[in-house]
Amino acid sequence: MSADVRRWCFADQLGTHFLDDPAQPVLLIESQAVFARRRFHRRKAHLVLSALRHRAAELGEQAVFLRARTYREALDQLGEPVSVCQPTSWSADRFVRSLPSVDVLPARGFCTSREDFEQWADSQRTLRLENFYRTARRRFDLLMDGDQPAQGRWNFDADNREPAPKDTATLGVPRPWQPSEDEIDEQVRADLDRWERDGEVSFVGRDGPREFAVTAIEAQQALAVFIRDRLPHFGPHEDAMLTGDRFMAHSLLSAPMNLGLLDPLDCAYAAEDAYRAGKAPIGSVEGYIRQLIGWRDYIWHVYWHFGWEYRHRNALHAKAALPDWFTELDADAVEANCLSDVLAQVRDHGWVHHIPRLMVLSNFALQRGWDPAAVTDWFHRSFVDGYDWVMVANVVGMSLHADGGLMATKPYASGGAYINRMSDYCGGCRYQPNRRVGEQACPFTGGYWWFLARNAEQLRRNRRMAQPMAGLGRLKDLDEVVAQQRRRADSPP
């Protein structure tokens, strides 16, 4: 279609790279029904509405900005044909394709196209991330010296798994870029207050000053600060956690990127430029580029490749409901230091970096057999960077092993020893990571053995689980461990 046709941009498609021409007319829709369907985190609602309204203000007369109960009502009100880049969820994709006045274009905002991914997938026995990542490195000529990877290595993960430094409260790197709120944020907050007061919507989590970019200019500023100040320190401790440093050296760019304000490939080339200029070590740069052209794209493509039913997979038959203390983000009810601190960060900020998500929150859910669909929905609603495509593959595939190994070759389950090694959480905790039974038994250590026992029949068929399953067979107090974990199952640890 011509660039003269108005481009409908969803609230996660707000960058200029979603337009065919900088002057193309735009449609933006604010639908209150989106927030009425689920109890989203208050900070997420604020971020999305702030970004949408800031984009409308930037475009001025170039955009039609409609506020309606539903998208369909807004489109009927507009009364003209539009084009739209493929939306980022199965439900939204089905909806736009059902509308005769909407021309659906290929997806944007990712590095590898769906066609290129499917061609790659057809050539693979299993969809290993490492193989996909190396193919992407070659395709985009990122960190390549000719046809070989820079410094002769594809992967610096082994160098990027250092535990949290001892006897320090923070990693000691410069703080990330932080925004200043304006009158648009003020109005968003007032509207959310009014909607909630009138009973039209309900939120989880606490409100607070906006912490993430909502415009392309802000996003570029945040990227520049990360590349200059934090990328050089990113790699070694990217898997570590510190109680006093919730940011560590992470970029905090996932939220603006998932709003469509940053092109991930541009970010990857900016990181490579820092390496080529001698301003950041290759281990940190490779780790960051892997997250962009490897993991982020891989998660996006897995979401579509395995189809709509992928979200309903439950290979381990996990059926337990999420307890109220977890769904309500009641961190104060939790005594385990790691889980209390991470849940408080979600409650207060709607964000933690990837290791607390995987090795604290998801690990706890996996051990207790919580329903994968409910956990997926919780992550989607509770995180400012959470979207359907982000959370389905991350939770169903990576975190809860509910897909039976289509993504990860073994479950990401661990006991308290891992958290003790990679963080400072265990030192002052009432629980001891080396104890699995008794009043001081770590809920993660006991929970780990309960998880293995509960799923022993299936896990014994996995060759990568041979060592932990052999350890399970040597436990003389397994019955006591299992009984204690069952008693504790619904109570906050």
Same domain assignment for residues 302 and 315: no
Same domain assignment for residues 471 and 338: yes
* 199 within domain boundaries: no
Each residue's pLDDT tens digit, 435-484:
999 999 999 999 999 999 999 999 999 999 999 999 999 999 999 999 99
Q: Is 73 a residue whose pLDDT tops 70?
A: yes
Same domain assignment for residues 50 and 18: yes
Sign of CA dihedral 240, 245, 248, 254: positive
* Helix H or strand E encompassing 280: none
- Contacts (Cβ under 8 Å, ≥6 apart) of 310: 302, 303, 392, 393, 396, 397, 403
What does the pLDDT read at residue 2? 63
* 56 within domain boundaries: yes
Q: Look at residues 306, 326, 342 and tell me which one is the last residue of a structural domain.
A: 306
Same domain assignment for residues 343 and 478: yes
Q: Please choose, from the candidates 170, 172, 288, the residue with its C-alpha nearest in 3D space to the C-alpha of residue 235.
A: 288
* 493 within domain boundaries: no
For the domain that residue 339 is a member of, what is the CATH number? Answer: 1.10.579.10
Percent of the chain with pLDDT over 90: 94
Specify the number of domains making up the chain: 3
Q: How confident is the model at residue 408 (pLDDT cuts 50, 70, 90)?
A: confident
What does the pLDDT read at residue 1? 52
Distance CA 460, CA 467 (A): 10
Same domain assignment for residues 369 and 460: yes
Same domain assignment for residues 326 and 281: no
Region 247-273: mean pLDDT is: 97
Sign of CA dihedral 471, 477, 481, 483: positive
**Is pLDDT larger for residue 167 or for residue 383?**
383
Q: Look at residues 260, 278, 306 and tell me which one is the last residue of a structural domain.
A: 306
Distance CA 168, CA 185 (A): 36
What are the DSSP E strand ranges found in 112-223? Answer: 144-145, 148-149
Region 301-330: mean pLDDT is: 96
* 197 within domain boundaries: no
For the domain that residue 61 is a member of, what is the CATH number? Answer: 3.40.50.620
Task: Say if residues 327 and 378 touch (Cβ distance below 8 Å).
Answer: yes
Same domain assignment for residues 359 and 302: no
Same domain assignment for residues 81 and 228: no
* 55 within domain boundaries: yes
Q: Look at residues 263, 278, 306 and tell me which one is the last residue of a structural domain.
A: 306
Region 224-251: mean pLDDT is: 96
For the domain that residue 228 is a member of, what is the CATH number? Answer: 1.25.40.80
Domain span at 420 = 311-488
* 448 within domain boundaries: yes
* 275 within domain boundaries: yes
Same domain assignment for residues 15 and 139: no
* Eight-state DSSP code of residue 407: S
Same domain assignment for residues 33 and 119: no
Which phi-psi region, left, alpha or beta, contains residue 255 (left: φ > 0; alpha: ψ -120 to 50)?
alpha
The alpha-carbon radius of gyration of the chain (Å, integer) is 23
Region 301-319: mean pLDDT is: 96
Task: Say if residues 371 and 313 touch (Cβ distance below 8 Å).
Answer: no
Same domain assignment for residues 351 and 428: yes
Collect contacts of 311-314 with beta carbons under 8 A, ≥24 apart: 311/373, 311/376, 311/392, 311/396, 312/373, 313/372, 313/396, 313/402, 313/403, 313/404, 314/371, 314/372, 314/373, 314/402
What does the pLDDT read at residue 140? 97
* 378 within domain boundaries: yes
| Tokens describing residue 400 | 């809860």
Same domain assignment for residues 301 and 359: no
What does the pLDDT read at residue 409? 87
Each residue's pLDDT tens digit, 207-221:
999 999 999 999 999
